[in-house]
Amino acid sequence: MSSNGTNERKLTIARAMAESIQQEMQINERVFVMGEDIGELGGVFGNTRGLLEEFGKSRIRDTPISETAFISAAVGAAQDGMRPVVELMFADFFGVCFDAIYNLMAKNIYFSGGGVSVPMVLMTSTGGGYSDGGQHSQCLYGSFAHLPGMKVVSPSNAFDAKGLMTAAMRDDSPVVYMFHKGLQGMGWLGTEAGATVNTPESDYTVEIGKAKVLREGTDVTLVGLAMGVHNALKAADQLAKEDVSAEVIDLVSLVPLDRETIINSVAKTGRLIVVDEDYQSYGVSGEIITTVCEHDISKLKAAPKRVAYPDVPIPFARNMEQFCLPNPDKIVAAYQAMV
Amino acid sequence: MTPSKDQILWMYRNMVTSRRFEEIIEEIYMEGKTPAFNMANGPIPGEMHLSNGQEPVAVGVCAHLNADDIVTATHRPHHQAIAKGVNLNKMAAEIFGKSSGFSGGRGGHMHIFDPDVNFACSGIVAQGCGPACGAALSRQMQNKPGVAVSFLGEGAVNQGAFHEAMNLAALWKLPVIFVVEDNAWGISVSKEASTAVPRNDVRAAAYGMPGHFIENNDPYAIFDVAGEAIKRAREGGGPSLIEIETYRLAGHFMGDAEGYRPEGEKEALIEKDPIPAMRARILSDGTASAAELDAIETESQSKVNEAIAFARQSELAADTDALTSVFAA
């Protein structure tokens, strides 16, 4: 990571993403953006705002509602030397275009034995909590991370959002960049204030594949990503009032996964709770727990726990959705059940 | 557009090379697969989709392309690859799963990539349409020369990916040509049983681009129509759709019993085999002599033999190579 980090300037994730893309487009003419409503509107979630005015319609390219066509076109452009950033407006929409993502974008480097590179970023929004129903609220982290050939990142704050986007655009492999709507800084979505943080003006990268220990502790390790990190931090505050010292790890990246940071933390605390807004079964939470158990199960003082989304489609009604979502109280309760 | 003598002989040479290549592949593929046919056995395991009979499509189109132009091909890619000028030794080695293949055996016969001539193919029906648009967009944005050709089968026109790509190509006026190889069969389902219109060139109208249909697997007619469409794309005129009636002389894949074919169809198609037909035409109109054509055939056979020998002699990759090249180096 490089940073001049001297100024005190808070940005939302939306603005941090747009600034990263803007700066990279200024220095690399092969970077361009494609997606639905990313031009005139500046992205439904604000992450391309202002770019059309500076770069014009060729490089900030509104597309038809044809995710298969424009994502697979991005693969073709990337293999031809361009560095496209494409937006899949909601991760939930992957159903109409997953062939282009996991059979094409994710496999062509392997199928060519490294003969071609696929330097593209697929950015997509995740997460619910605002009653958008079961086709506009999913996280699907595990679905993307499960399939080999794509890097997968998800920032929890604006500093990481900017640095990860810059790193993703400079990567020669495809990167799926999953941004959580509830962290985006769009007022109409209701925003987690903790995501809006000091963000340097100059360009810098945040390493893909490196987790961050956001809070050190000795009694339990709380692991999460994106919104899960904020729930974990709030739970850690609550636990501190009960003299429990929680360590909080922000995964930042799912692929590659920084297993070492997790293992080292649990070796110290002996307890592990994974917070995941994605569905519970067959997903990220299971992978993190397995990582620790496979490495050295004797380090665990208690069976690991997960606070994840139950295995049901996401309900619309506000009370039902909130009942299903992870929250700090559930994390605290999970800890209390461990000791 | 009328082909010159050089172009005619180039087409003939590549048709013959493709056919000779597939004849040898067909023979080797059966090694270890008799008496009981097990796809996993022998020096060439897996599915094998032969293109014999469809060579006119590949040469009639690729005669107008150079190495900088892009081709996205199908699961039945050998004729297209050879006409595009891929490295035949590396392609043969890839088909054998050897370390000297394009991907060192990670891809196989449905996943041939030769970046030196901008050739790629894939095993998903209609999957190449989008990447062809993207490569064309890349050239358009960079103001660099080059057109992209997306080959697909007549069964692929009923995929959403095809229609999305057609719209995108027309909307952005991309230098792309969609070439539909109509071999009449999507595995066992006939064109008539799968497609609401008898000819797919009419679908071009839905996207405001020119559509063409070429009958009888005729390399000269393909050369003519493809040449005009490619010229148009190079000059900024945008995309075209061409459907070509061609003949699949073999099954969908090796091992296909072809029980779905009407009686006599295959024999009738073999009667119309485009390679002897082209040879006869070249001789009858005096374009070249029998001796010239014999020499071309001999050269093609040598080139194929060399590629097969290269593949045979190459080593298999290490087992652990399976775990590398997932991401860019």
Q: Which of A19, A136, A192, A277 is catalytic?
A: A136
Q: A254 in a domain, yes or no?
A: yes
Compute the nearest-CA separation of B26 from chain A (Å). 23
For residue A156 the two structure tokens come to 């929890």
Of A5-9, A124-128, B286-290, B305-309, the range with the lowest mean pLDDT is: A5-9
Q: A206 in a domain, yes or no?
A: no
Q: Of all helices (H) and strands (E), which one includes residue B194?
A: helix B191-194
Same domain, A162 and A247: no
Collapsing DSSP to helix, strand or coil, A176 comes out as strand
Same domain, A136 and A280: no
Q: Which of A63, A68, A109 to mutate to test the interface with B (most CBs of B within 10 A)?
A: A68
- Please report which residue ranges of chain A form alpha helices under DSSP H: 13-27, 51-59, 67-79, 98, 108-111, 141-146, 158-170, 227-241, 259-269, 284-296, 318-324, 328-336
Q: Is A199 exposed, middle or buried (0-12, 13-18, 19+ CB in 10 A)?
A: buried
> How far out from the chain centre does Cα A176 lie?
8
Per the structure, the count of domains in chain A is 2
CB contact under 8 A, B102 and A115: yes
Same domain, A219 and A183: no
Q: Of all helices (H) and strands (E), which one includes residue B220?
A: helix B219-234
Give pLDDT, residue B22: 98
Q: A50 in a domain, yes or no?
A: yes
Torsion A170-A174-A123-A80 (CA) sign: positive
Same domain, A160 and A241: no
Same domain, A235 and A296: yes
Of A75, A119, A149, which has the smallest distance from its Cβ to B134's Cβ?
A75
Q: A62 in a domain, yes or no?
A: yes
Q: A203 in a domain, yes or no?
A: no
Compute the nearest-CA separation of A279 from chain B (Å). 27
Phi, psi (deg, nearest 5) at residue A232: -65, -40
Fold topology of B5-312: Rossmann fold (3.40.50)
CA distances from B107 to A103, B120, B184, B318 (A): 12, 11, 27, 15
Burial B201-219 (b: 16+ CB within 10 A, else e): bebbeebebbbbbbeebbb
Residue A75 touches chain B, beta carbons under 8 Å: yes
Residue B114 touches chain A, beta carbons under 8 Å: yes
Same domain, A182 and A230: no
d(CA A167, CA B233): 36
CB contact under 8 A, A110 and B132: no
Residue A62 touches chain B, beta carbons under 8 Å: no
In sequence order, the 6+-apart residues with CB closer than 8 A to the CB of B236 are: B173, B175
Same domain, A162 and A86: yes
d(CA B157, CA B28): 33
Give pLDDT, residue A7: 54
- pLDDT tens across B92-117, in order? 999 999 999 999 999 999 999 999 99
CB contact under 8 A, B161 and A68: yes
Q: A205 in a domain, yes or no?
A: no
Chain B residues touching residue A170 (CB < 8 angstroms): none
Question: What is the residue whose two structure tokens read 């679908």?
Answer: B203
- pLDDT tens across B202-227, in order? 999 999 999 999 999 999 999 999 99
Delimit the domains of chain B by residue range: 5-312
Q: A2 in a domain, yes or no?
A: no
Q: Which of A67, A87, A277, A321 is catalytic?
A: A67
d(CA B200, CA B218): 18
Per-residue pLDDT of chain A (339 residues; tens, 9 = 90+): 344 445 589 999 999 999 999 999 999 999 999 999 999 999 999 999 999 999 999 999 999 999 999 999 999 999 999 999 999 999 999 999 999 999 999 999 999 999 999 999 999 999 999 999 999 999 999 999 999 999 999 999 999 999 999 999 999 999 999 999 999 998 877 789 999 999 999 999 999 999 999 999 999 999 999 999 999 999 999 999 999 999 999 999 999 999 999 999 999 999 999 999 999 999 999 999 999 999 999 999 999 999 999 999 999 999 999 999 999 999 999 999 999
d(CA A94, CA B28): 41
Which domain CATH number covers A304?
Answer: 3.40.50.920
Same domain, A251 and A103: no
Domain that holds residue A142: 10-198
Domain boundary among A175, A198, A221: A198
d(CA A184, CA A196): 8
Of B103, B104, B124, which has the smallest distance from its Cβ to A103's Cβ?
B124
Identity of the amino acid at B117: V
- pLDDT tens across B123-143, in order? 999 999 999 999 999 999 999
CA distances from A64 to A103, B166, B167, B173 (A): 22, 12, 9, 14
Same domain, A230 and A156: no
CB contact under 8 A, A108 and B115: no
Same domain, A193 and A216: no
Same domain, A236 and A121: no
Domain boundary among A135, A168, A198: A198
Q: A318 in a domain, yes or no?
A: yes
Same domain, A193 and A233: no
